[in-house]
Amino acid sequence: MFTGIVEERGTITAKEELADAARLTVRGPTVTSDAAFGDSIAVNGVCLTVTALTGDGEFTVDVMAETLRRSSLAGLAAGATVNLERAMRADGRFGGHIVQGHVDGVGTIVAISPTENWTIIRIALPPSLRRYVVAKGSITLDGVSLTVSAVGDSEAGPWLEVSLIPTTLTHTNLGQARIGSQVNLEADVIAKYVERMTSGPATESEARS
């Protein structure tokens, strides 16, 4: 489990395309300082398992086809900047909100509005995620725990807005975001559990998913 508090911006140093997966090598001196084989590290909000450590601040992860389909990792190449966070320690501070590292979908940035002290970013939401997003609720964007400042619907579809302070822009890759950029979205798991408990027994397809 994670909290959405990014520890460092890492860099993808290599990407190997496999038959039904991809292998990423990522440089992240902070998150590898105490990492071991089998540990979990969130890469742009995707929980991945460390399969190798090089000893010079790099680690390797395998990304299966399902994860590539559901996230923006498929579109990343060597040189890309990614947000990194180690799994939360049981005795650590809960700085953000409950983040599983299980991406629900990909959103597209449709507007960026800088102000004097912060920047407002609007993201087009996949319609299937609209019901989980509420104003002042939590959302994870590329692994960053954020508060939804506004949510709405337009002719083009549902959208949400977040307000980013300078620290977030400086210490995460959201500061490099542009209109058209894609971001991994993870809705608040509490909303999903509430929906499940109030909607009756799970269907056969849900049980298999």
CA distance 47 to 40: 6
Torsions phi, psi for 126 (to 5 deg): -60, 135
Q: Taking 60 as the threshold, does the pLDDT of residue 208 lie above it?
A: no
Give tens-digit pLDDT for 8-46: 999 999 999 998 999 999 999 999 999 999 999 999 999
Q: What is the mean pLDDT of residues 51-71?
A: 94
Residue-level pLDDT at 205: 53
pLDDT for position 95: 83
Q: What is the pLDDT of residues 101-118, one digit of tens each?
A: 999 999 999 999 998 889
Global pTM reads: 0.90
Which helix (H) or strand (E) element contains residue 50? Answer: strand 46-53
Average pLDDT over residues 84-95: 87
Torsion on CA atoms 113, 114, 120, 124, rounded to nearest 10: 40
8-86: what fold? Elongation Factor Tu (Ef-tu); domain 3 (2.40.30)
Q: What is the pLDDT of residues 130-148, one digit of tens each?
A: 999 999 999 999 999 999 9
Geometric angle at alpha carbon 206, from 200 and 209, rounded to 5°: 155
State in words which class domain 105-196 has.
mainly beta
Q: Is the Cβ–Cβ distance between 25 and 13 less than 8 Å?
A: yes
pLDDT band at 76 (very low <50, low <70, confident <90, very high): very high
- Within 11-119, residue ranges assigned H as helices are 65-70
pLDDT value at residue 209 = 45
Q: What is the pLDDT of residue 207?
A: 46
Share of the chain above pLDDT 90, in %: 78
The structural domains of the chain, with segments of one domain joined by +, span 8-86, 105-196
Average pLDDT score over residue span 152-178: 94
The answer to whether 177 and 183 have CB atoms below 8 angstroms apart is yes
Residues 6+ apart with CB under 8 A from 191: 131, 132, 134, 137
**pLDDT at residue 197, rounded to an integer:** 87
**In this structure, are residues 53 and 35 in contact, taking their beta carbons and an 8 Å threshold?**
yes
How much is the mean pLDDT over the chain?
92
Element (H, E) at 24: strand 21-27
Instruction: Pull the structure tokens for residue 172.
Output: 């995460």
Please list the residues that pair with 107 across neighbouring strands. 183
